[in-house]
Structure 1
């Protein structure tokens, strides 16, 4: 389990670093993960994704590199 966690963390570090270096502004949607985990067929995949860790890494790396990160509310009408 420790090896899998290390691989996941390493992948998240590489991905977030690449995203922050390549973009001036990063916009993410604030999702209700608690409600999404209630779906039985997707619960394990959603839990394994480590979205909260991904978001926290993006936040501190964006601040570190002087980039702007915006978290949009899940009810924001972005598709309209």
Structure 2
């Protein structure tokens, strides 16, 4: 039952869109390096790049790009 409720909530949130500001894919591409660098450094990336988190939550393509870049940056900083 909980899984069904969570799935319904996720679907509803996807339809309603973000509650706050959201950037588009072009801005996401331009700002992604900065956002990931802030995340990896422990900074508050969501404050420094408003709207990025909302976009990543709603855009699978950009979220995949984020995850790949973050993994690369984390690996290279070891």
Q: TM-score, normalised by structure 2?
A: 0.30
Q: Per residue, is there more strand in 1 or in 2?
A: 1
Q: TM-score, normalised by structure 1?
A: 0.30
Greater relative contact order structure (CA < 8 Å, 6+ sep): 1
Q: Per residue, is there more helix in 1 or in 2?
A: 2
